[in-house]
C-alpha cells in the first residue's frame, strides 16, 4: 500500500490484515477495545467529541433518508429493510442508520475475510472502490436475499473506514424463485451468491456487474436499482467522512473512532448489570421442515426434519453475556442452515434492542454479548457447501429466545413495562412469472415482514402490527406497492384475523391476514412461501407465566376456483384466510384444489381466478386464560376478536343476552364454570415425579416419530447437550437408541 506521511515523518500504512490482528491483540490483552483504557478525547473536550460523533451519525442517517428513494424496491423504500453504517478499518461499526440494525456485525466477517485473503494486494483496496457480497460464510450474510455494499475510505494511502449498506433484495436467483428459497439441498441451489468482491471503482459499478444482476436473477431491474441505492448512500457517507477528517484531522479521527466503541462497550456492560439477573436462561424452540415427497432427484434430502433450536444464555456478574447453542440441531440437506455471521445477525437483534438503548449504537455489543455456535451445528457447518438460503426462517425463533430471556430478567427485576412476550413470526410470499408479452419477472411480497404483533405484557394485551424484532420501523407497507410489483396480485382483503393470537390473562396482539386474487397471470405464475415459522409447531416453546404461545403462520390456496363467476353474481370474495375456508365449507367457493399449508408451501402454479391467503404475525399471551377479566373477554367477543364458544371453552366466561339483546357477562355462571375447569385440571394433573417416570420410559425406548428421534440424535451428538440429557433422564453413560 501507499506510504502515509504524518508530522514530517515517513510511516508505512498497515495492511488490512495487520490492522485486524492489532485490534484483536490489543483487545484481548487489555480487555478494552483496541486497548483504550481511558476516554481521553471525551474527557478532555466532551463538546468536540460529541460534535464529532453527531457528524458521523448524521452522515449515516442522511444516507438512508436520501438513498432509499433511489430504489424501486418497496421493501427498502417503505419498510425499513435496509441499513447504512460507517465502520472502523477493521469492520467494527461506528454509527448506524435506522433499519436493519443487527446487520452491523456482518461487516466484521466480511472485512476479516478480505484481510485474511490480502485484498489490499489483490484486487487492491483504493478510496472509492466498491465491494459487494451476499455470502454467508465469507460475507456474514444471513441469506442470499441480504446483499451488502462496501466502499473503503482511504486517506493518504491508509484505510480509515468503510461505508456499508445492506438491503433485502427482491429476488435471489435460486431454482426456487424469491428471496428466501425454501427448497435447497446445498449452496449451489441458494442462488446468486458471491464472496466479497470488487465490483466497481471511483464510486461507480462496473457494467459487467449490472449485467450479472440481469442475467442471474429474475428481478434484475429492481435488484440493480437496489444496488444503486446502496452505493448512493455509501457515496454520501464516503464524502462526509472525508470532510470530517479534513475538519477534525486524521489523528483525532483515528483515536475518536476507537474511543466511541469503548465508550459504548462500557455503557452496555452497565446496562446489562442494571437490567439482568446473573445466571443461566435456557430455552428452546422448534422448526418443521417438510421435504418428504417433494422431489425424486436428491434422495438424501427426501425427508422431514424437526429443527431443535436451543439457547443457553449465561449472564455473569460483570455484565458479560454468553449464548451457547450447543444442542441445536446439526446442519442438514435443507435450506434452513446458516453460518456464524448470519446467526449473529439474528442473535444481536435482542442484544442491541435491550442493551444499547441509551448509548451510541455501535459494534461494541459484539465485545460484550457473545455467542458460541458449535462446529457442525445448524449455525456453523464445517464446510462451505451447505445451503443457507433461509436461516432466517428458524433464526427468528432463536432470536425470540434471547428476547424472552432478557424479558424474564426484566420481569424479575421489576421492570414490568419493558417485559413482554417476544415473537417475530414473519411471512413472505415469493415467486416468479412470465407476463403475456413474454416478460419474465421475480418478486417477494414483504408486507408481513414489515410488522408483527407485540406480545402480551403482565398487565395489558399486546398490540397488533406494532412491533418487529428486526427493525425499529414496523410498517407493512402500502398494498398498492405490492400490486404494481406483482401484476397478477390483487388484494381482496387485508385485515386482522379474529382469534389469531396467543391467549392468556392478557392476550397477545392479533395477527393479520391477506387474501390475494390472481387476475391475468400471463403465461406462467409460480408462488411459494418464505417465512419464519409454520403452523406445524408453535413459534417458541415458551409461555409467559402460563400464557398460550402464539399460533404460527399458515396459508390457504384455492386453485381452479369459481371466483370469476362469484364476481359476476355480485357475491363478495373472502377477505381473510378463515373466510376462504368458511366459503368453501358452505359451498360458496368451489376449488379443484383447496389446500391448507401448515408448513412451507412449495412452489405452486396459479391461474386466473385463483386465491392465495396467508396469516402471520400473531404473538403470545401472558398468564392463565381463566384469570382474564371477564369484561375483557366480553369486549373481545363484541369486537369480533374471539368467538363466543371460544370465550366459554378457553376463558371460562359465560355470556348471555340482556333485555336490549346485547351481550353481558353471566357472573354466576362464569364463576361456576371456572371452578369446574380448575377441578378438571386437578383431575388430569399428576405429580411431577410420576410424569418424569412415564416420560423417561419413552426417552429410553426412543418412542418418538422419526422426525423427533432424528432431532434428538442430532442434538445429543454435541457432548454438552448429551451430558445434560443423560443427567436429567438418569440414563447410562453409553446410552444410545
Name the pairing type of β-strands 321-324 and 369-372. Answer: parallel
**Rg of the chain taking only CA atoms, in angstroms:** 27
Per-residue DSSP letters for 289-301?
Answer: EE-TTS-SS-GGG
Number of Cβ atoms within 10 Å of the Cβ of 520: 11
Alpha-carbon distance of 448 to 614, in angstroms, equals 9
Is the Cβ–Cβ distance between 288 and 304 less than 8 Å? Answer: yes
Low-confidence ranges of the chain (pLDDT < 70): 1-11, 541-543
Cβ-contact 385, 186 below 8 angstroms? yes
Backbone angles phi, psi at 122, to 5 degrees: -150, 110
Residue written as cell 359476476? Answer: 568
Q: Which triple of cell numbers denotes residue 679?
A: 377441578
Specify the DSSP element, H or E, that contains 96.
Answer: strand 93-96
Which sequence spans correspond to the domains of the chain?
14-265, 420-623, 634-676, 688-729
Cell numbers 445434560 correspond to: 724
Q: What is the pLDDT of residue 543?
A: 65
Residue of 187, 543, 540 whose CA lies nearest to 396: 540
Pairing of strands 369-372, 663-665: unpaired
With both helix axes pointing from N to C terminus, report the angle between 16-30 and 106-116 in degrees, rounded to the nearest 10. Answer: 120
* Contacts of 116 by beta carbon, 8 Å cutoff, 6+ apart: 17, 20
Q: Which residue has the cell 422431489?
A: 295
Distance CA 484, CA 191 (A): 24
Give the pairing type, strands 93-96 and 158-168.
Answer: unpaired
Gap between the Cα atoms of 33 and 430, Å rounded: 42
**Cell numbers placing 157:** 494511502
pTM of the model: 0.95
The total number of residues written for the chain in this structure: 737
Task: Give the cell for residue 102.
Answer: 443487527
Amino acid at each position: 500500500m501507499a506510504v502515509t506521511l504524518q508530522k514530517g515523518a515517513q510511516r508505512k500504512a498497515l495492511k488490512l490484515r495487520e490492522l485486524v490482528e492489532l485490534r484483536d491483540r490489543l483487545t484481548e490483552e487489555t480487555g478494552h477495545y483496541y486497548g483504550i483504557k481511558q476516554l481521553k478525547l471525551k474527557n478532555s473536550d466532551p463538546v468536540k467529541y460529541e460534535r464529532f460523533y453527531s457528524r458521523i451519525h448524521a452522515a449515516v442517517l442522511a444516507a438512508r433518508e436520501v438513498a432509499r428513494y433511489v430504489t424501486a424496491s418497496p421493501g427498502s423504500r417503505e419498510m425499513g429493510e435496509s441499513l447504512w453504517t460507517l465502520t472502523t478499518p477493521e469492520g467494527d461499526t461506528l454509527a448506524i442508520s435506522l433499519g436493519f440494525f443487527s446487520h452491523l456485525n456482518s461487516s466484521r466477517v466480511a472485512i476479516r475475510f478480505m484481510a485474511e485473503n490480502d485484498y489490499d494486494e489483490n484486487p487492491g483496496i483504493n478510496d472509492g472502490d466498491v465491494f459487494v457480497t451476499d455470502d454467508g460464510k465469507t460475507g456474514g450474510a444471513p441469506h442470499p436475499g441480504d446483499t451488502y455494499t462496501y466502499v473503503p475510505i482511504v486517506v493518504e494511502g491508509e484505510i480509515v473506514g468503510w461505508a456499508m449498506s445492506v438491503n433485502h433484495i427482491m429476488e435471489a436467483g435460486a431454482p426456487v424463485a424469491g428471496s428466501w428459497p425454501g427448497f435447497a439441498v446445498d449452496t449451489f441451489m441458494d442462488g446468486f451468491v458471491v464472496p466479497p468482491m470488487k465490483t466497481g471503482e471511483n464510486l461507480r459499478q462496473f457494467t459487467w456487474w449490472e449485467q450479472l444482476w440481469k442475467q442471474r436473477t429474475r428481478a434484475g431491474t429492481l435488484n440493480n436499482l437496489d444496488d444503486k441505492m446502496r452505493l448512493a448512500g455509501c457515496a454520501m457517507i464516503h464524502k462526509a467522512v472525508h470532510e470530517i477528517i479534513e475538519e477534525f484531522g486524521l489523528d483525532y479521527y483515528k483515536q475518536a473512532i476507537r474511543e466511541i466503541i469503548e465508550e459504548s462497550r462500557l455503557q452496555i456492560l452497565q446496562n446489562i448489570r442494571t437490567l439482568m439477573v446473573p445466571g443461566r436462561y435456557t430455552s428452546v424452540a422448534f422448526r418443521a421442515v417438510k421435504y418428504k415427497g417433494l422431489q425424486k432427484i436428491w434422495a438424501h434430502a427426501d425427508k422431514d426434519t424437526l429443527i431443535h433450536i436451543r439457547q443457553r444464555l449465561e449472564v455473569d456478574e460483570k455484565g458479560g453475556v454468553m449464548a451457547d447453542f450447543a444442542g441445536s440441531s446439526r446442519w442438514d440437506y435443507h435450506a434452513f442452515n446458516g453460518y456464524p455471521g448470519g446467526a449473529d445477525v439474528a442473535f444481536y437483534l435482542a442484544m442491541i434492542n435491550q442493551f444499547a438503548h441509551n448509548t451510541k449504537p455501535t459494534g461494541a455489543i459484539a465485545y460484550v454479548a457473545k455467542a458460541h455456535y458449535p462446529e457442525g451445528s445448524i449455525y456453523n457447518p464445517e464446510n462451505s457447501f451447505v445451503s443457507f438460503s433461509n436461516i432466517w426462517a428458524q433464526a427468528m425463533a432463536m432470536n425470540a429466545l434471547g428476547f424472552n430471556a432478557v424479558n424474564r430478567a426484566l420481569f424479575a427485576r421489576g421492570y414490568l413495562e419493558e417485559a413482554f412476550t417476544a415473537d417475530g413470526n414473519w411471512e413472505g410470499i415469493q415467486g416468479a412469472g412470465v407476463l403475456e408479452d413474454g416478460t419474465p419477472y421475480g418478486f417477494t411480497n414483504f408486507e408481513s415482514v414489515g410488522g408483527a404483533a407485540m406480545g402480551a405484557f403482565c398487565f395489558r394485551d399486546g398490540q397488533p402490527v406494532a412491533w418487529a424484532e428486526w427493525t425499529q420501523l414496523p410498517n407493512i407497507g402500502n398494498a398498492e406497492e405490492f400490486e404494481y410489483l406483482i401484476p397478477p396480485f390483487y388484494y381482496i382483503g387485508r385485515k386482522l384475523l379474529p382469534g389469531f393470537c396467543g391467549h392468556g390473562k392478557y392476550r397477545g396482539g392479533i395477527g393479520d391476514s391477506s387474501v390475494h386474487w390472481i387476475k391475468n397471470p400471463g403465461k406462467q405464475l409460480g408462488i411459494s412461501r418464505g417465512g419464519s415459522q409454520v403452523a406445524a409447531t408453535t413459534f417458541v416453546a415458551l409461555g409467559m407465566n402460563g400464557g398460550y404461545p402464539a399460533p404460527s403462520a399458515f396459508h390457504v390456496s384455492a386453485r381452479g376456483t369459481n371466483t370469476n363467476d362469484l364476481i359476476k353474481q355480485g357475491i363478495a370474495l373472502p377477505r381473510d384466510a378463515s373466510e376462504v375456508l368458511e366459503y368453501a365449507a358452505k359451498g360458496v367457493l368451489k376449488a379443484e384444489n383447496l389446500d391448507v399449508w401448515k408448513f412451507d408451501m412449495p412452489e405452486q402454479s396459479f391461474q386466473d381466478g385463483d386465491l392465495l391467503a396467508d396469516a402471520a404475525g400473531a404473538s403470545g399471551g401472558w398468564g392463565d386464560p381463566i384469570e382474564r377479566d371477564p369484561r375483557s373477554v366480553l369486549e373481545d367477543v363484541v369486537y369480533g376478536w374471539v368467538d363466543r364458544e371460544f370465550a366459554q371453552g378457553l376463558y371460562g366466561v359465560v355470556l348471555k343476552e340482556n333485555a336490549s339483546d346485547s351481550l353481558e357477562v353471566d357472573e354466576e355462571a362464569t364463576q361456576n364454570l371456572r371452578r369446574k375447569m380448575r377441578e378438571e385440571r386437578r383431575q388430569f394433573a399428576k405429580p411431577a415425579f410420576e410424569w418424569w417416570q412415564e416420560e423417561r420410559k419413552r426417552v429410553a425406548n426412543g418412542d418418538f416419530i422419526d422426525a423427533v428421534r432424528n432431532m434428538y440424535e442430532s442434538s445429543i451428538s454435541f457432548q454438552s447437550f448429551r451430558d445434560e440429557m443423560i443427567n436429567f433422564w438418569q440414563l447410562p453413560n453409553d446410552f444410545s437408541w
